[in-house]
Amino acid sequence: MKLAPQSIPYRAFQKVAGIVVILFFVVTSNDWGFLTAAAAGGGVLLLALAYEVAYYRRFDYELTEDTLDIASGVISRREREIPYRRIQNVDVSRSVIQRAIGVAAVDLETAGGSSTEGSIRFVTPEEATRLQREVQRRKSDASGGESGKRGADADTRPGSVGPDEEELFAISPGELALVGALSFDGRLIGLLAFLGSGSFPVLSSFVPDASAAAISALAIVAVGLLFLVSWIIGAGLAFSNYYGFRLLRAGDELRYERGLFRRYSGSIPTEKVQTLSISDNPAKRALGYASLSIETAGYAPGQGGNYGSQAAVPIATTERVYRLAHEVEVFGTPSFNRPPKRIRWRYVFRYAIVVGVIAGVAFAIDWYVAADIPWYGALALLLAVPPAAHLKWKHRGYWLGEDHLLTRNGFWSRSVTVVPYYRIQNVIDNRTIFQRRWNVATIIADTAGGSSLTGSDAAAVDFDTDEAVELRATLQNRLQSAVRERRDRRTAFEWFEGDAGSDNSDTDETSTTDAERSTDVPESTDDDPVTEGVVEPDVPDDGPVRPDFSGGDRDYSKPAERIDTGEYAVDRFPSDVDVAHRGRTESESDDTAEDTPVNGDDSDDTHDDSDDANDPANSER
């Protein structure tokens, strides 16, 4: 399919606008004739138009059976196929001008790559909506594994828009006003601080004879003004960003719409949600409000920035935010474990050092420029150190839910991060040299969510080393059991196709076993037979039938454990040979035997023997 025709002139003007501005400056600064400049500008515009016509003719996208194909490029051509299953987000945005001429930009994000993978600029708004819906429909078909049936079904009614939309959240005028009032854009201050940092001594040498009181009054007024302006900027940005915000659920997908000048709408499959984070600050906490953001792996780190295109509920009452969060991920009511109390002393020392440095800098300025600054005033900040340390400690914590890890950090901007165990990619245990002195550690559960640059990783900071080691092991075990459960549900689903009842009972009982697990640390082996008995689906001898996504003739869709080779290996692929003898039950009992050594930090030598005996890989080497 082609782009919208009106995108040709729009794209051309977009490209040329910069050049025209440059030409304007050239004309005004040189004594070129206006005609020459106009001719040059016209020539450039014609060139751009020609290029855009070629781009338009070349650009072609197509929704095939299981991929979205995009052919593009004038000089270097590119053909790209994006499997529907891999698409994370589909975002549509329309600026004021784009709305006036009736075009919309569509961006498709996958987890790979550092930029937007599928960028379609521009199509008509109707086509954009159709693309969004169609991608979702085909994706759920692809993952449902019954594309033939439902695809045919949809062909009979081509105007279908997919499942019904259910509104989860719509911002009210009052809430919008609150978002504006509570938003503060620190960038201006940052910029001024950056520009001003070099010029402070210079400035103060210019005004030596004014009285200190006048200078400080002026400084206070200036700082007040600066904050006011920052606040107005922040409020304006937040207002235009979140105007008309709505969050909808449509089948297995979340959709959002927002924006005053530039309208954004997007879709996030709930299957792709990596983490949720609920954030607030003291003002919001006092008023009983919080905000929610939903993170997927689609956006590269740093992409999107402050007001990114991720769906985020900007503000709602705390209770409502938690209800919305539960709508996406079902976690229980958290009760956070706090770090040991002694760690408050660590923060006291840290802040005291900061205050000392501030006082030192103030003293140095005082001494250097001989202005009469009351530098010792900075020491008054020491009074704030103990409460600050206490608050920092108070707002830290983690909680292990049935299927989720919740972490909480920060006082000024507190965020609670919800990580499903299944989404954990790595578990990192960090101990700085200072933390080692206090005998504490930080455990970070790394996910594929793209927000690590903004520092909202799920981290349990400053916990007792023993507790941290245990937490690390627990997370690893829970991840393993979540993966196992997911895999069993997958196979069970394929086997009991259409039989929703048995499938549900399976998952329910599994979750109760997990509930039992979560009550005691999963080094116990006794509840594992239960898990086996419940989760293990009744698989016929010839193995499960799974959709084959691989291009080669090796059938990777078949799990290696299930290849029945009898007494000796006849598999063509030697890497699987040793696996073939291992039954599922055996590997699970291996896992439970493994649960205990995981806890150990350095004292695992006792278990190594059993490892060697069990793992045929070692006897091979």
Partner 1 sequence: MTTQTLHPRVRIVWILRSVLVAAVLSAPFVGAFYFGYLPEWAPVGAGAVFLVLGVGHSVLRYRRWSYEIREDALYLDRGVVTQVRTTVPLVRIQHVDSRRGPVERGAGLASCVVYTAGSRGADVRIPGLTPDGASDLREELKRLAIRADGEDAV
**One symbol per residue from 349 to 368: x for binding partner 1 (CB under 8 A), - otherwise; what is it?**
--------------------
Which residues face 91 on adjacent strands?
107, 266
Distance CA 547, CA 381 (A): 64
Phi, psi of 434 (to 5 degrees): -75, -40
Residue 579, interface with partner 1 (CB under 8 A)?
yes
| DSSP line for 46-73 | HHHHHHHHHHHHH-EEEE-SSEEEEEE-
The C-alpha angle 99, 104, 106, rounded to 5 degrees, equals 155
**One symbol per residue from 72 to 91: x for binding partner 1 (CB under 8 A), - otherwise; what is it?**
----------------x---
Pairing of strands 404-409, 414-420: antiparallel
Chain center to CA of 216? 44
Q: Closer to partner 1 at the Cβ: 99 or 582? A: 582
Q: Closer to partner 1 at the Cβ: 432 or 505? A: 432
Residue 95, interface with partner 1 (CB under 8 A)?
no
- DSSP code of 337? B
| Piece of the chain touching partner 1 by CB under 8 A; list 39-47, 157-165, 313-321, 589-597 | 589-597
Residue 619, interface with partner 1 (CB under 8 A)?
no
Chain center to CA of 37? 48
Place of tokens 């440059």: 22
- DSSP code of 332? -
Query: How big is the site for partner 1, counted in residues (CB under 8 A)?
Result: 58
Q: Is residue 312 within 8 Å of 323, Cβ to Cβ? A: no
Residue 447, interface with partner 1 (CB under 8 A)?
yes
| Piece of the chain touching partner 1 by CB under 8 A; list 317-325, 331-339, 350-358, 596-604 | 596-604
Residue 422, interface with partner 1 (CB under 8 A)?
yes
Tell me the closest approach of the beta carbon of residue 600 to partner 1, in angstroms: 11
| Piece of the chain touching partner 1 by CB under 8 A; list 6-14, 93-101, 368-376, 479-487 | 479-487
- Please identify which residue in 66, 146, 165, 611 interacts with partner 1, judged by CB under 8 A: 611
| Piece of the chain touching partner 1 by CB under 8 A; list 370-378, 399-407, 447-455, 564-572 | 447-455
Dihedral class, residue 413 (left if φ above 0, else alpha if ψ from -120 to 50, else beta):
beta
Distance CA 450, CA 308 (A): 11
Residue 494, interface with partner 1 (CB under 8 A)?
no
Distance CA 91, CA 109 (A): 8
Distance CA 463, CA 471 (A): 10
Residue 523, interface with partner 1 (CB under 8 A)?
no
| DSSP line for 363-386 | HHHHHHH-----GGGGGGGGGGHH
- Please identify which residue in 16, 90, 104, 297 interacts with partner 1, judged by CB under 8 A: 297
Q: Is residue 163 within 8 Å of 139, Cβ to Cβ? A: no
| Piece of the chain touching partner 1 by CB under 8 A; list 209-217, 340-348, 362-370, 428-436 | 428-436
Q: Closer to partner 1 at the Cβ: 181 or 560? A: 560
Residue 488, interface with partner 1 (CB under 8 A)?
no
Residue 293, interface with partner 1 (CB under 8 A)?
no
Q: Closer to partner 1 at the Cβ: 255 or 423? A: 423
Q: Is residue 488 within 8 Å of 535, Cβ to Cβ? A: yes
Interactions with partner 1, residue window 247-286 (CB under 8 A): 272, 274
Dihedral class, residue 87 (left if φ above 0, else alpha if ψ from -120 to 50, else beta):
beta
Tell me the closest approach of the beta carbon of residue 419 to partner 1, in angstroms: 11
| Piece of the chain touching partner 1 by CB under 8 A; list 125-133, 342-350, 377-385, 574-582 | 574-582
Residue 487, interface with partner 1 (CB under 8 A)?
yes
Q: Closer to partner 1 at the Cβ: 251 or 597? A: 597
In 75-146, which residue ranges form alpha helices assigned H by DSSP?
96-101, 125-144
Residue 404, interface with partner 1 (CB under 8 A)?
no
Tell me the closest approach of the beta carbon of residue 606 to partner 1, in angstroms: 11
> Contacts from 358-361 at CB under 8 Å and sequence distance 24+?
none
Residue 521, interface with partner 1 (CB under 8 A)?
no
Chain center to CA of 559? 30
Q: Closer to partner 1 at the Cβ: 264 or 299? A: 299
> 590: part of which helix (H) or strand (E)?
helix 584-599
Tell me the closest approach of the beta carbon of residue 469 to partner 1, in angstroms: 9
| Piece of the chain touching partner 1 by CB under 8 A; list 245-253, 478-486, 498-506, 514-522 | 478-486
Q: Which amino acid is at 126?
A: E
Query: Given the rule CB under 8 A, which residues bind partner 1?
Result: 88, 111, 272, 274, 297, 301, 422-433, 436, 444, 446-452, 457, 472, 475-476, 479-480, 483, 486-487, 556, 559-561, 575-576, 579, 590-591, 594, 597-598, 604-605, 608, 611-612, 614-615, 617-618, 621
